[in-house]
Amino acid sequence: MEYIRVTNENLEREHICCAISNNKDVQVASKKAWLSQRFDEGLVFLKSVERGKCFIEYLPAEMAWNPIEAEDYMYIDCLWVSGSFKGHGYSNDLLAACIADSKEKGKKGLCILSSAKKKPFLADPKYLQYKGFSVSDEADNGIQLWYLPFEEGAEKPRFRDCARHPHVDEMGYVLYYTSQCPFNAKYVPILEETARTQGIPFQAIHMQSREEAQAAPTPITTYALFCDGAYLSNEQMNEARFLKLLARSKTL
């Protein structure tokens, strides 16, 4: 497999792999706008030359849009290999490239979000363990920070205090999200409209700066849904899934 690094020079003509075939889709435009502002901050987006979900996205942890303390680490936003690309060792290729690049840049190691059991849109903990990662911190909602140090005795990354006990004060549904995930550009407005037509209190908080994201009340900032103060899920929802959630909540 050949890989290509996406930069501001080739961003407009490259497909960014996120399960969206139309390069003019609003989701793609949102993601590309977010990426274009991150490249100068050290973000690396490495993908297969072929279209599909086969890429890694990482950046210096100090620049990550997550409430973590991981000085001199590299933070992996996303390592995604699926569909026909699975089972060929491409995840290993992409991770190895990230490790080599991070060592060359003098980083202490890598860190990434996961959980004890596999959750949608998070790294597979079994794969991370297989590659030598271990858990360095865990929030109350089970979201874990995993790390791979490059040398013995390296200080462990950790969550900031604001994210250790995921909770919000507002009642009703509250969604924290960023433009890092392209799907939000399509599905957040759908949830807002569905909640409006159903008469459900719903507030979407679009974090548009790194400072906002690093102060979030949740380790996951791409998409974190709360209900009556309690954390619910990091999985994007369409109208049908949100309605199903609302119906289930009414029966409890």
Residue 89 maps to which CATH number? 3.40.630.30
Average pLDDT, the chain: 93
Q: Is 59 found in the same domain as 11? A: yes
Fill in the amino acid letter for 145.
L
pLDDT (0 to 100) of residue 60? 98
Residue 189: give the domain boundaries. 163-251
Q: What is the DSSP letter of 84?
A: G
Q: Is 136 found in the same domain as 29? A: yes
**Which residue has tokens 């909602």?**
141
Helix (H) or strand (E) holding 204: strand 202-206
Residue 217 maps to which CATH number? 3.40.30.10
Q: Is 123 found in the same domain as 212? A: no
Using pLDDT thresholds of 50, 70 and 90, give the confidence band for residue 252: very low
For the segment 113-133, the average pLDDT, to the nearest whole number, is 95
Look at residues 131, 160, 189 and tell me which one is the last residue of a structural domain.
Answer: 160
Q: Is 140 found in the same domain as 22? A: yes
Count of CA atoms in the C-beta half-sphere (13 A) of 109: 21
pTM exceeds 0.75 for this model: yes
State how far the alpha carbon of 230 is from the alpha carbons of 119, 140, 169, in Å: 18, 11, 9
Q: Is 232 found in the same domain as 128? A: no
Domains of the chain: total: 2
Q: Is 171 found in the same domain as 136? A: no
81 vs 85: CA distance, rounded Å: 6
Q: Is 152 found in the same domain as 183? A: no
Look at residues 137, 160, 183 and tell me which one is the last residue of a structural domain.
Answer: 160
Q: Is 137 found in the same domain as 78? A: yes
For the segment 144-149, the average pLDDT, to the nearest whole number, is 98
Q: Is 213 found in the same domain as 115? A: no
Between residues 121 and 71, which one has the greater pLDDT?
71
Look at residues 160, 182, 200 and tell me which one is the last residue of a structural domain.
Answer: 160
Q: Is 152 found in the same domain as 32? A: yes
pLDDT (0 to 100) of residue 225? 97
Strands in 54-60's sheet, in edge-to-edge order, are: 3-6, 44-48, 54-60, 73-81, 109-115, 143-149, 134-138
Q: Is 133 found in the same domain as 100? A: yes
Give tens-digit pLDDT for 39-78: 999 999 999 988 778 999 999 999 999 999 999 999 999 9
Q: Is 147 found in the same domain as 37? A: yes
